[in-house]
C-alpha cells in the first residue's frame, strides 16, 4: 500500500473518532440539561466540553494530514438516532435512566477507540488516541459508578 492509501485510512479512522467525540459532546450536553442534581449537571457539562476538545484535537490532526475533518455527529443510523431519541428518552426520567444512557454512549466510544487502536497508527497519533481512550475509560467507569449508586437508591 502506498502512502496515500495509508493516509486515507488514517484520516478515515480519525474521522470516525471525531464523530464519536461529537456524539459524546451532544449526548452529555443533553444529559446535563435534563439531570436535576447540580453535581451531575456539572459533570455532564464538563464531559461534553472534554469530548468537544478531543474532537477539535482530532480535527487539527486530520487537517495536518491533508484530510477533510469530520465536523458533525455520526450519521451511522443507530448512533445518530440514539442521540436524537435521547432527548425524548430522558426528559422527565430519573437519574438512573439518564446515567444508563450516558454509560451506553461511553460503551460505543470505548468500542470505537479500541478499534482505532488496532490500526497501524503513527506513534504520535497513537499516543494522542491512547490518551483520549484513557479519558473515555475514566468517563465510562465514573458514569457506571454513579449509575450503580443511583440504582442502589432506587
Evaluate if residue 140 carries a pLDDT over 50. yes
Burial environment of residue 88 by CB neighbours within 10 A (0 to 12, 13 to 18, 19 or more): exposed
| 3-153: CATH number | 1.20.1260.10
Evaluate if residue 79 carries a pLDDT over 60. no
pLDDT tens digits for range 14-36: 999 999 999 889 889 888 988 88
pLDDT for the residue 1: 38
CA separation for the pair 78, 31 (Å, rounded) = 18
Nearest to 150 by CA among 29, 30, 39: 39
Residue 57 neighbours by CB under 8 Å, 6+ apart: 128, 132
Q: How many CA atoms lie within 13 A of 89 on its CB side?
A: 17
Domain-wise residue ranges, the chain: 3-153
CB 62 within 8 Å of CB 113 = no
pTM above 0.95, yes or no: no
Question: Cell numbers of 135, please?
Answer: 479519558
Evaluate if residue 93 carries a pLDDT over 60. yes
Q: What is the DSSP letter of 50?
A: H
Amino acid at each position: 500500500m502506498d502512502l496515500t492509501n495509508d493516509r486515507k485510512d488514517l484520516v478515515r479512522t480519525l474521522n470516525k473518532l471525531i464523530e464519536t467525540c461529537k456524539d459524546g459532546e451532544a449526548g452529555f450536553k443533553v444529559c446535563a440539561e435534563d439531570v436535576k442534581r447540580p453535581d451531575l449537571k456539572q459533570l455532564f457539562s464538563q464531559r461534553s466540553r472534554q469530548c468537544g476538545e478531543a474532537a477539535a484535537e482530532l480535527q487539527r490532526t486530520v487537517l495536518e494530514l491533508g484530510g477533510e475533518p469530520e465536523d458533525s455527529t455520526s450519521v451511522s443510523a443507530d448512533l445518530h438516532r440514539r442521540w436524537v431519541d435521547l432527548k425524548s428518552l430522558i426528559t422527565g426520567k430519573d437519574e438512573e435512566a439518564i446515567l444508563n444512557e450516558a454509560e451506553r454512549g461511553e460503551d460505543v466510544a470505548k468500542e470505537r477507540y479500541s478499534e482505532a487502536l488496532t490500526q497501524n497508527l503513527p506513534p504520535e497519533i497513537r499516543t494522542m488516541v491512547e490518551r483520549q481512550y484513557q479519558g473515555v475509560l475514566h468517563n465510562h467507569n465514573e458514569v457506571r459508578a454513579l449509575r450503580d449508586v443511583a440504582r442502589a437508591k432506587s
